[in-house]
Amino acid sequence: MLSERALTAAMRVLGRRYMAHEPTSLTTLPPADPERTYLLYAHVPFCERLCTYCSFNRFLYREDLARQYFARLREEMRMVADLGYRFGALYLGGGTPTILLDELCLTIDLARDLFDIGEVSSETSPNHLTSEVVERLGGRIDRMSVGVQSFDDRLLRVMDRYDKYGSGQDLYETIVRAQGWFSSLNVDMIFNFPSQTERMLLADIDRLKDTGCNQVTFYPLMAGPNAARALADTVGRIDFVREGEYYHLIDEALSGTFEPASAWTFSKDRGGMIDEYIVDYDQYVGIGSGALSFIGDRVYGNTFSLADYDAAIRSGCMGLATAGQPYDARAMMRYRFINQLFGLRLDKRAFERDFGVSADRALWLELTFMRAAGGIERDDDECITLTPAGRYLLVVMMREMLSGSNELRDEARAALSPAERMLLLDGQPLPQAECASA
């Protein structure tokens, strides 16, 4: 599809520009805007086993390192409170936030003590979705999101998840058992994995519907340059033409049971909060190693090194390592355009109120492109909404924005110490002598 290819190319350039970071000597985030409510994102970068395709900041789990890390995370949370931030919601992402339940409970409880948090969301892995976890987290987490990726045993093996998290049938039973434990249960799936066929995808959707989960997120396979090369050498190249076809297949197969809640999330209760926190909050503070913040007109990034993060917090500084250039007015308007349309609706009145110029005038290029590609469903004085073709274009935009962050992560990982790089490799124990410095 020509529009997809043109957009991928344009977003690659824009994504790199908007996500570009420079090392910073800043030791603290700017103070809060007292008029604003933000989202608090806390990153827990540990997993018991590492998935080869995974593009997130994650390290092989070691209890001592993880306990030390959670303690620093809570210290950084206190620093954020001292800056006057108000948060409406807490999102715990990973990695695997549920990896140490007692530490996670302490962290959530502190957030509730410090801030007026309305809703807590967390990610988890299927092996943690047990009655023991629910009892321990009882009442603390409202929305749980679990990574399934596929119910197909062959695909789970290719993804190297079969041995870690069980067969498709095991995963199915886990999700069925977890019904009713949380006010919302989201299942993460991946589409356009190189060896995935149309049949596998449709069978996955049938299985998903049977689980009774109330929300599903279908991520297109995303890869930074390193991961893309590794995938091409093992399972095959990522095919973007097929990505568009599969997206429409998913959209049609889910309709009637799930409705689009964002470009890649489908929900049974349309009003419920969705997984993409940036849709509900366009300004957020990220704490923890590798977490990003978007505050005012700038992106800030925390260090990817666990050792540097620990040292920074111990010395009374935040975990900052990089900062982007301030966004100009045009970039802020584009950010609003992508964020809101990713959440399926651009509010034209709010746009004009906030930027002093109409969306039609400020975003004429973007809107002309979307119209020509058949992407606009409704366009009146009030708002713009999307057709399925338009939703797919937003998937492309977000895929490229996130792939821009993946490049940053690749660069940051390359700069880690040898000891920390060992923690990026699954199945290889960290030598004791080097652990001490990690």
- Please report, as ranges, the residues that interact with ligand SF4 according to CB under 6 A: 47, 50-51, 54, 56, 58, 94-96, 125, 147
Rounded to an integer, what distance in angstroms lies between the CA atom of residue 59 and that of residue 104?
17
User: What minimum distance in Å lies between the beta carbon of 220 and ligand SAM?
Assistant: 6
Site mask for ligand SAM (CB under 6 A), range 155-194, x = bound = ---------------------------------x-x----
Give me the count of residues in the chain: 438
Q: Which of 4, 14, 32, 55 binds ligand SAM (CB under 6 A)?
A: 55
- Nearest residue to 142 via CA among 166, 163, 118, 174: 118
Q: Which of the stretches 218-226, 292-300, 388-396, 419-427 binds ligand SAM when contact is defined by CB under 6 A? A: 218-226
Q: Which does 50 bind (CB under 5 to 8 A by kind): ligand SAM, ligand SF4, none?
A: ligand SF4
Q: Which of the stretches 69-77, 221-229, 367-375, 415-423 binds ligand SAM when contact is defined by CB under 6 A? A: 221-229
Contacts to ligand SAM from residues 130-159, by CB under 6 A: 146-147, 149
User: What minimum distance in Å lies between the beta carbon of 47 and ligand SAM?
Assistant: 6
* Angle value at C-alpha 227, between 122 and 3, nearest 5 degrees: 90
Output 3 or 98, the one with its CB closest to ligand SF4: 98
Asked if 54 touches ligand SAM (CB under 6 A), the answer is yes
* Residue 321 CA from chain centroid, whole number: 20
- Count of alpha carbons within 13 angstroms of residue 83, beta-carbon side: 20
Output 147 or 324, the one with its CB closest to ligand SF4: 147
Asked if 45 touches ligand SAM (CB under 6 A), the answer is no
User: What minimum distance in Å lies between the beta carbon of 147 and ligand SAM?
Assistant: 2
User: What minimum distance in Å lies between the beta carbon of 425 and ligand SF4?
Assistant: 12
User: What minimum distance in Å lies between the beta carbon of 206 and ligand SF4?
Assistant: 23
Q: Which does 295 bind (CB under 5 to 8 A by kind): ligand SF4, ligand SAM, none?
A: none
Asked if 94 touches ligand SAM (CB under 6 A), the answer is yes
User: What minimum distance in Å lies between the beta carbon of 196 and ligand SAM?
Assistant: 12
Asked if 50 touches ligand SAM (CB under 6 A), the answer is no
User: What minimum distance in Å lies between the beta carbon of 27 and ligand SF4?
Assistant: 29
Rounded to an integer, what distance in angstroms lies between the CA atom of residue 157 and that of residue 154?
5
Q: Which does 300 bind (CB under 5 to 8 A by kind): ligand SAM, ligand SF4, none?
A: none
> What is the phi/psi pair of residue 395, to 5°?
-60, -45
Asked if 100 touches ligand SAM (CB under 6 A), the answer is no
Strand order in the sheet with 383-386: 345-347, 383-386, 376-379
User: What minimum distance in Å lies between the beta carbon of 190 and ligand SF4?
Assistant: 9
Asked if residues 83 and 133 have their Cβ atoms less than 8 Å apart, the reply is: no
Please give the residue ranges that form the binding site for ligand SAM (CB under 6 A). 47, 53-56, 94, 96, 123, 125, 146-147, 149, 188, 190, 219, 221-223
